[in-house]
């Protein structure tokens, strides 16, 4: 099937489940989204809502116990579900790259930064030893690592959290990917370093015209970085749309809850940690509630919410969608 030219990644009705002792755990349910060249899509949601496994499915890095299906799962014109290993390997790392959630565990502690970066360059571009080294130095400089040549000899444990993250970014962008999946790229970092890393990602995006899927539980980061947002709850998309539209006109009570923890710009992030979060817990995948998955935590729950899981409804021409029986009234109008 030929896709519209401008869509880079198209995911339709993605389902991910895991075989387990407690039966099949259906972790991602009918998730659909698109990513366009050069844009940033923010995926936000609490811990366990399926952000990482969605990106691992795109990278084909889920364990063998995972079952992945979708009615449409395409990168450009290539079907990610049916391509062979060779085609997958070509896409992974060269067209789609990922910064993993934990940089400390994604860098191999036994090898120097230079070795790990140069292996990636060698794999994708080849070249003489000198050329590969020069490219590695250039990449480390580009991601803001001072004394890059000396740093090539460092081992991961000799780097700070921010430096490790920069090295991970250098490895990810080595092949100039068209899509970068950044899974919680700044969570472990303090606030100043976080701002630097986000600004680095912004600069690289412009330079390479690279699309970014930015995954985070921090809606403030998405608000700052993304054009569009997808809010996930318990493996489902509960609201999506242009970031300004969703923030100003949130329709889903869960999005409202996430936004309540968004500090005003004067507040520091340290303050936010003390702000109240949404009461209650995400559903146990082996024991999902009937109806809307958010209904046990929702302050607007009606009978229908306990009976039927709602379909998505659309709110404007910019594809602002919400999965709720009782969407919130227009914020601007109230
Ligand atoms: N290998 C696995 N086997 C069984 N269940 C799994 C496996 N990997 C993930 N899950 C489950 O899938 C769900 C989604 O996990 P995922 O790691 O994608 O969450 P997340 O949104 O990235 O959370 P976090 O913000 O904590 O990183 C969770 O309930 C998790 O327990
Ligand atoms: Mg995760």
For the chain, domain boundaries? 9-90+187-322, 96-174
Which residues neighbour 109 within 8 Å (Cβ) at sequence distance 6 or greater? 155, 156, 157
pLDDT at residue 264 is higher than 70: no
Could you read off the pLDDT of 188-220 as tens digits, one per residue? 788 888 899 999 999 999 999 999 999 998 898
The radius of gyration computed from the CA coordinates of the chain, to the nearest angstrom, equals: 21
Return the CATH architecture of domain 9-90+187-322: 3-Layer(aba) Sandwich (3.40)
Name which residue sits closest to atom 18 of ligand 1, judged by CA. 50
Which atom, in ligand 1's list, is nearest to the CA of 49? 21
- Give the residue among 3, 160, 161 at the shortest CA–CA distance from 80: 3
**Is the CB of residue 25 below 6 angstroms from any atom belonging to ligand 1?**
yes
Q: Which helix (H) or strand (E) holds 274?
A: helix 269-274
Name which residue sits closest to atom 14 of ligand 1, judged by CA. 50
Could you read off the pLDDT of 139-192 as tens digits, one per residue? 999 999 999 999 999 999 999 888 998 999 999 999 899 999 999 998 878 888
Could you read off the pLDDT of 286-295 as tens digits, one per residue? 999 999 999 9
Give the distance (Å) from ligand 2 centre to CA of residue 264: 26
What pLDDT is recorded for position 334?
A: 39
- Contact indicator for 210, 175 with CB cutoff of 8 Å: no
Give the distance (Å) from ligand 1 centre to CA of residue 188: 18
Residue 2 carries which DSSP code?
P
Does this model's pTM top 0.85?
yes
In the structure, what pLDDT confidence band is assigned to residue 260 with cuts at 50, 70 and 90? confident
Ligand nearest to the CA of 234: 1
């Amino acid at each position: 099937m030929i896709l519209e030219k401008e869509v880079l990644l198209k995911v339709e009705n993605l389902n991910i489940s895991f075989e387990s002792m407690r039966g099949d755990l259906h972790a991602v349910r009918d998730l659909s989204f698109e990513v366009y060249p050069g844009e940033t899509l923010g995926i936000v949601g609490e811990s366990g809502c399926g952000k990482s496994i969605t990106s691992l499915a795109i990278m084909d890095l889920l364990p063998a116990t995972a079952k992945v299906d979708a009615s449409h799962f395409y990168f450009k014109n290539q079907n990610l579900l049916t391509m062979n290993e060779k085609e997958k390997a070509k896409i992974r790392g060269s067209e789609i790259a990922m910064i993993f959630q934990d940089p400390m565990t994604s860098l191999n502690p036994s090898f120097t930064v230079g070795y790990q970066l140069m292996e990636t360059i060698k794999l994708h571009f080849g070249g003489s030893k000198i050329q590969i080294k020069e490219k590695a130095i250039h990449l480390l400089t580009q991601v803001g690592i001072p004394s890059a040549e000396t740093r090539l000899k460092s081992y991961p444990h000799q780097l700070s959290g921010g430096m490790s993250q920069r090295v991970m970014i250098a490895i990810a962008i080595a092949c100039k990917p068209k899509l970068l999946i950044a899974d919680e790229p700044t969570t472990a970092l303090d606030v100043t370093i976080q701002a630097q890393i986000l600004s680095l990602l912004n600069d690289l995006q412009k330079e390479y015209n690279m699309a970014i899927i930015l995954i985070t539980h921090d809606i403030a980061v998405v608000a700052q970085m993304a054009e569009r947002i997808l809010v996930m709850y318990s493996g489902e998309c509960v609201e999506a749309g242009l970031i300004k539209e969703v923030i100003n006109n949130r329709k889903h009570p869960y999005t409202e809850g996430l936004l309540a923890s968004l500090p005003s710009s004067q507040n520091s992030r340290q303050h936010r940690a003390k702000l109240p979060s949404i009461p209650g817990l995400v559903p146990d995948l082996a024991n999902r509630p009937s109806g809307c998955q958010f209904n046990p935590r929702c302050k607007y729950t009606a009978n229908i919410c306990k009976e039927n899981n709602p379909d998505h409804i659309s709110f404007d021409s910019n594809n602002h969608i919400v999965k709720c029986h009782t969407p919130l009234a227009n914020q601007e109008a109230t």
